[in-house]
Amino acid sequence: MFWQTICIFNCMKKIILILITYFSLLITSFAQDVKVVKIEELKKEYIKANDTTYIVNFFATWCGPCVQEMPVINKFYLATKNKKIQVLFVSLDGGIAPAKLSKFIKKQKMEAPVFVLNESSDFSWLPYIDKRWQGSIPATMIVNSNKNVKAFFETPMENGQLEFYLKKLGM
């Protein structure tokens, strides 16, 4: 009887490990890939010789206004993803644990590509994004290299605001 109990226990343990592994892989496969980048790598994502307009949104998971504007940016992304407009999210949470960021991405239902900017915490890199940027977030940049358009906004986006700015910029 003792050995049967041990055998059943070991079998149950193996089954539980298999189930945990299976569900971990299943959950991971649905999680969005997040790419950690330096400034130069990030710039290659939105400075391209094509007719696409890039909306680059800088945020942090701890920033209340950033979290508040996420539904607006997501809605805009879903409405424009089949057009020549690409939304990129850039997290400024440098040392954030990947699991925490993945959880945030899922909770906010972010479908556009997400990058984590891996730069120094002294913000000396800000002028490489925009010379006027003081470091406030959320911040959103609109870029179209072919049309030589670049606009930068250090304010949370509200419904219709991105569409308004794009129209004003002739996009």
**Can you give the residue ranges of every domain in the chain?**
1-30, 34-168
The answer to whether the Cα torsion of 60, 66, 68, 74 is positive or negative is: negative
pLDDT-derived band at 81, boundaries 50, 70, 90: confident
In CATH, the architecture of 34-168 is 3-Layer(aba) Sandwich (3.40)
Q: Does residue 74 register a pLDDT over 50?
A: yes
What's the whole-number mean pLDDT along residues 146-171? 93
The rounded percent of the chain whose pLDDT value lies above 70 is 81
The rounded percent of the chain whose pLDDT value lies above 90 is 64
User: For residue 82, what pLDDT is reported?
Assistant: 84
Tokens 């906010």, located at residue: 108
Of the two residues 47 and 23, the one the predictor is more confident about is 47
Average pLDDT of the chain, as a whole number: 84
Q: Does residue 102 register a pLDDT over 70?
A: yes
For the full predicted model, state whether its pTM sits above 0.85.
Answer: no
66-to-83, 92, 118, 159 alpha-carbon distances in Å: 25, 11, 19, 14
**Residue of 42, 49, 130, 54 whose CA lies nearest to 87:** 54
